[in-house]
Structures are given as structure tokens and as C-alpha cells.
Structure 1
Amino acid sequence: MKKEYDYLIIGSGLFGAIFAHEMTKQGKKCLVIERRNHIAGNVYTEKVEGINVHKYGAHIFHTSNKVVWDYVNSFVEFNRYTNSPIANYKGELYNLPFNMNTFYQLWGVKTPQEAFEKIEEQRAEYKHITEPKNLEEQALVLGGKDIYEKLIKGYTEKQWGRPATEIPAFIIRRLPFRFTFDNNYFNDTYQGIPIGGYTALVEKMLEGIEIKLNVDYFSDKENLDSLANNVVYTGKIDEYFDYQFGHLDYRSLRFENEILDQPNYQGNAVVNYTESQIPFTRIIEHKHFEFGTQPKTIITRENPQDMTEGQEAYYPINDEKNQIVYEKYKQLADQLSNVIFGGRLAEYKYYDMHQVVARALEVVESQN
């Protein structure tokens, strides 16, 4: 019996929106359902005081993949924003990523050779650690005491919610040192923010496609599944299988937003707070993503926390324990021929936005 839709797409974030757009172009009929009251998933931006506020944390698009860059720019124009975060450690300011500006701020060194020698001198104190057992040891071996204590330790412990001595060493495989005066955080060829915000980007992708908001897939799963020949699922994979192998672990975020009656609060879009005594990891000032000149400004403090019932899942915790559980769920997923699992939550994988775009296009290609 012919069903009403070719694809039921659960979730209107980047993966779901791209899939829906591409399949609609091919003449397929898609229905997108979204449990929130808005489209665009975690990249959603909301206009407040004339400023596009990144409601679920800062999103900066960067890629070296020209196909991906041209693809997103085919919907909306991107600006020239370059991510150059600042680290604040007990009132001292440092440029990120670690570059000649950082080394000058730390030690007063002015040449690449002086910086290199200082780093080697700091690393030498830990040469007795041949096999780092945790993140603290790994960071000390790679960068020495000053960089670790001022710029890594507090921030990372807040991010993961545990001491650095209890975080696996593999989280920091290497520390990229730049011996140039270059504050551009990313090495990618292309970088920017959609002019008008990410919601405008996803709106374009979903133009002409049927969308239903405030729909909880699991409260009416059987009925919703019956509407379409295929399902594209972008939610948590453990939830899809009713947690039969247990819950996967995620880190969540709590956002504190504040509208300030001043034009400029911190002079930069992203300032990281790297000391452990301050509970939040960073303050985002949204207007700087789009070079705003509005009379007011909006800031967001980001507080990482363990995910509990009712909170959003942001970062999969891809340690050994969780990977074992995920593989069990993936085996079940692979047996379902008419369900596609895509995106950060469904694949239990940390994806940047450009990787989600590439993955969605790859899955679309596999449908032909």
C-alpha cells in the first residue's frame, strides 16, 4: 500500500534539513517533525534586540571542503567572521590558539626560537612521564606547566565535570603550537557565519517542505512511522531503542543569557574563562559574530553539566565504556533497512557543522 510520504524526518537540524531538501529536489515527498517549537535544532538563532542570538551555544562554520562551503553558501551568504577567542585566567588575557601572541603574553618571548626554547624547557621537567595515564600528564608532557595550569586545566575540568587526573589522556592527543602571530583559531580555508543567522539558512533548506513543530515522535511513534516508507532519525540512538542496553552518557550545557544596556561588553565574540573557580567555561557576546552595532548587547555564560532527564544532550562522551554500549545500539540500527540514523546524537559522534553537512550529502547519495 502506497504511503503518504517517502520520508519521515525526525529533527529539523542540519542533517534532517539537508536530507529533506535534497530528497524533495529528487521528487520525494518528505514530512519533517520537530519536538521543539522551532526549526534548525541546535544551530537555531533567535533575533533579540536586533541581534541573532545563538540559542544553543556558539556555532562558527569552518571547513576546507569547497563542496560543503559552496553548498551552504548556495542558500544564504556567509560573512567573513574569523574565530579568534581570548582566554581569561584570573584577569590575565591570552590569545588563542597557542601562538606567538600567547607566548609573548605568558613569558615575554618575542621570536619563534625563544618561544620554542621556553616550551622545550617547560616540557623537560616532565620527560620522566613516558606513558601519560591521564589528561593532566599528557598536557604537561606536551606543553609544560604554564600552558597547562593557565590555559588547559580549569577549562577542561569544567568541560568534562571531573578532575584532569580522571580524564583519559587521549582527549589531548597533541597541542597545536603556532610559531606565528596568528589568532585565527581554525586552520580551515573557509570560515564565517550566515548573514541573518543560522535559522535563515535552515529556513531556505526547508522551503516548501511540510514541517510539524511541537511533535514528540515517541509519544506517537507507531502512527507516525505508518505515514512514510522510510524514517530518518536524528535524535539519541539509545532513546530510539528505549534504552535497552542502558543510557549513553552526554555532557549538557546550561545557558545564562543577559541583555546589557551598553553597546559592547567584552570586545570579542568568545572569551574563555580558564580558571576552575569560575563555574562557566566561556562568555559569548553574540553581536560580534555579525559585526553588530546595535545600542544594546547580549551575552551568554555557558555552564557545562552532566545531562540528566529533561536536559539537552550536546556532547557524546566517547570513552571506552560508552563506545561499547553504542556499538550494541548500532548493531540494532544496522538491521533496520528503512531507518536512517544520522547526526551527532543518532551516530553518537562529535560532528562539527561542516562534517554534518558532508555526512548528510553522503547519505543522500547512498539513497540513489
Structure 2
Amino acid sequence: MSKKYDYLIVGSGLFGAVFAYQAKRSGKKVLVIDKRPQLGGNIYCENIAGVNVHKYGPHIFHTSNKTVWDFVTSLVEFNNFINMPLANYRGKLYNLPFNMNTFYALWGVTTPQEAAQKIAEQKRRAAAEPQNLEEQALALVGRDIYETLIKGYTEKQWGRQCTELPAFIIKRLPVRFTFDNNYFNDRYQGIPVGGYNKLSAALLQDVETKTGCDFFTDRSHWENLADKIVYTGEIDRYYDYKFGKLEYRSLRWETEILDCTNYQGSALVNYTEAAVPYTRIIEHKHFEFGTQAQTIISREYPAEWQEGAEPFYPINDAKNTALYNKYAELAQKEKNVIFGGRLAEYKYYDMDRVMGRALKSFEVGNRP
């Protein structure tokens, strides 16, 4: 007996939405469900006072993959936003990523040779074989950059001392000896004109969707609706935590409407001092060059993940990677379930990689 749908897609984030788009265009019958009250996953924007607020944290689309860029720009127009974040340490501002503007603010150096010499002097005092994140950072960029721009921010982000974090978290740190404040090296970059909800709407146009539906509250019902399932949630939950629970870091935001046109002059300012409890302030209107009379800011606070909280960052240490690999072995044996996205693959992905993987997954899953 044939089922009602070819695909049930669990989750309307980028992986699920891109897969749904491809499936619909190929004549497949598709149903997308999401446990949240709205579609779009973590790229969903809430309009407050005329400003598109990135409800689940800031998202800046960037890629060097022309196939993905051509795909996404065929759906929506992008503006020319360039990510140029700042770091605030004890009231002094530094440009990110580490570049000549950063080195001038730190040391007063004005040439690449002076900056390189300063870093080299500090690196020489670092451990030869880094055993933790602190030693790795010192080996890469030296003590001044580490203590001013890395240590406090990282310890807040992960809720652990840098000496307790594995070195591989920062295998490399971008250092530029040019006065270039563009955070990304990718060829293409921007924000959808009108916000990310426009992108979600374009991907899910004419696709049947249902919100407020938790796959696990009536699992057998949803499984019996479709021939195949595309699952984008936590992989350990799919298997009822049979090997144990994977660990995450979570986030929370405090959002304010301010009666001024411009609060900080930048979309993103990181607070790298340990004494400041939040990691950054997001001023949402700057993503779209807003001219509204008011502005909206969100202070971002890292948090330990607990049951019921949003899982944002996989903790890809040795213990959790070994646990994930057990679940991945089960997933590989599934004939009618496709796992995709950061939660199902227990890996932090940039948006372009999620989209690229979804395009590839649909292609592979539908080869004759």
C-alpha cells in the first residue's frame, strides 16, 4: 500500500527546506513538519519595530561555492552586507579578524613586518607541542592577542577554562597582515533583501508544511505517512539515546528596543573580557542598512545545555565524537531515513555547507 508522501521532512531549517525544494521540483509529494511555531529553523527572523531580528542568533551568508551561490540567488536577492565585527576589551575596540588594524590598536605598529615580528617574539615563548587550547593559541598568535581577544570570550562561550579545552578547537587562527576588516575570505557574502524569512518562504513555496508538530509525540503516525524520512533533529534522540546523550552548548538572548537610531555602529560587537557576562551584542538593523527611528539589540549569553533548551553548538571533543560515531553507524544502515544538518550530523556547519549537503543528499538519494 503506497503512503501519502514520498518524503516526510522533520525540521524546516536550511537542510530540510532545501531538500523539500528539490523534492517538490522533482514531482515528489512532500510534507515538512517543525516543532516550533514558525518555519525557517535558526534563520527565522522576527520583525520588531520594522527591524528583522535574528531570533536564534546572527546569520551572515557567505560562500565561495558558486553552485550554492547561484542556487540561493536564484531564489532571493542579496544585499552587499560585509561582516566586519569588532571586539570590545575593557572599553577599547579592536577589529576582527586579527589584521593590521588590530595590531595597530594593540601595539601601535604600522607595518606588516613590525606586526609579524611582534607576534613571532611572543610565539617563541609558547609550548612546543600544545596540550590545550591556551597553549595552542599562544603558539599561534602569542600572549597579547590571546589574553585580549581570545581567552575571556572562549571561556564564556564554552563554559570551561581554556586550559581545560582541547587544542584542536582552534587548529588555526586567521591572521592578516593587511588593513582588511572583512571577517570572511569567501567570494560571495550578504543578507537576503527583506530578511531570511524571504529565503525560507521561497524554498518552501507550494510545499505542504505543519508547525507546532513534534515528531516524537506521535512518532508512529508520522513514520507511516511517507516512504522516506529526512531527519534534521538530534541524532541521539532519534535513537532514543540508546548509547547516551550527546552534549551541546546553548545560547540565550536578551533583546531590547532602544529609542535611538544607532546604538553601536556595527551589527556585531564581541565582548572578550571575562567579567562581562555576555559574549556579544547584536544590532540587527545594520544587517540590512536600516534607517528606522528605533534600533533593536540582543545581548547573547552562552549557557550549559539542559533538557528542553535549544542545542546550538555540538561539543566535538573526543568523548562526544566517539559517542556520535556509534549513532552514525546506525544511521548509515538506514535505508529509508536521511540524516542531515548540524544536529543530525553533530557538526557545526556554515549555511552554505548545509545547503550544499542538502542538494547533494537529494541528488544521491534519487539516483536511479
TM beyond 0.5: yes
Return the letter of the residue paired with 2:156. Answer: K
Match of 2:49 in 1: 49
Count of paired positions:
366
CA distance in 1, matches of 2:281, 2:46: 18
CA distance in 1, matches of 2:256, 2:263: 11
Match of 2:91 in 1: 91
Task: State the SS of the aligned residue for 2:325.
Answer: helix
Task: State the SS of the aligned residue for 2:87.
Answer: strand
Match of 2:104 in 1: 104
CA distance in 2, matches of 1:18, 1:124: 48
Return the letter of the residue paired with 2:346. Answer: Y
CA distance in 2, matches of 1:142, 1:230: 47
Match of 1:133 in 2: 131
CA distance in 1, matches of 2:139, 2:33: 48
Match of 1:303 in 2: 301
Return the letter of the residue paired with 1:366. Answer: V
Match of 1:82 in 2: 82
CA distance in 2, matches of 1:231, 1:194: 29
CA distance in 2, matches of 1:2, 1:13: 27
Match of 1:120 in 2: 120
TM-score (norm 1): 0.99
CA distance in 2, matches of 1:288, 1:236: 32
Q: Displacement, 1:157? A: 0.4
CA distance in 2, matches of 1:113, 1:12: 49
Q: Displacement, 1:250? A: 0.6
Say if 2:274 is the partner of 1:248.
Answer: no
How much is the aligned-residue C-alpha RMSD, in angstroms? 0.7
Match of 1:165 in 2: 163
Return the letter of the residue paired with 2:187. Answer: T
Return the letter of the residue paired with 2:37. Answer: N
Structure 1 consecutive aligned stretches of length 4 or more whose deviation exceeds 2 Å = none
Return the letter of the residue paired with 2:29. Answer: K
Query: Share of identical aligned residues, percent?
Result: 65
Match of 1:72 in 2: 72
CA distance in 2, matches of 1:175, 1:358: 25
Match of 1:292 in 2: 290
Task: State the SS of the aligned residue for 2:138.
Answer: helix
Match of 1:23 in 2: 23
CA distance in 2, matches of 1:199, 1:163: 37
Task: State the SS of the aligned residue for 2:32.
Answer: strand
Match of 1:212 in 2: 210
Match of 1:8 in 2: 8
Return the letter of the residue paired with 2:311. Answer: A
Q: Displacement, 1:125? A: 2.4
Q: Displacement, 1:16? A: 0.5
- Output one character per residue of 1:73-108: Cα deviation in whole Å (capped at 9) or x when no partner: 111100000000000000010000000000000000
CA distance in 2, matches of 1:332, 1:141: 39
Say if 2:176 is the partner of 1:178.
Answer: yes
Say if 2:302 is the partner of 1:331.
Answer: no
Return the letter of the residue paired with 1:40. Answer: G
CA distance in 2, matches of 1:335, 1:115: 52
Match of 1:345 in 2: 343
Match of 2:196 in 1: 198
Match of 1:257 in 2: 255
Alignment gaps of 5+ in structure 1: none
CA distance in 2, matches of 1:222, 1:175: 47
CA distance in 2, matches of 1:335, 1:124: 49
Say if 2:341 is the partner of 1:354.
Answer: no
Match of 2:361 in 1: 363
CA distance in 1, matches of 2:128, 2:98: 24
Alignment gaps of 5+ in structure 2: none
Q: Displacement, 1:367? A: 1.9
CA distance in 2, matches of 1:367, 1:169: 37
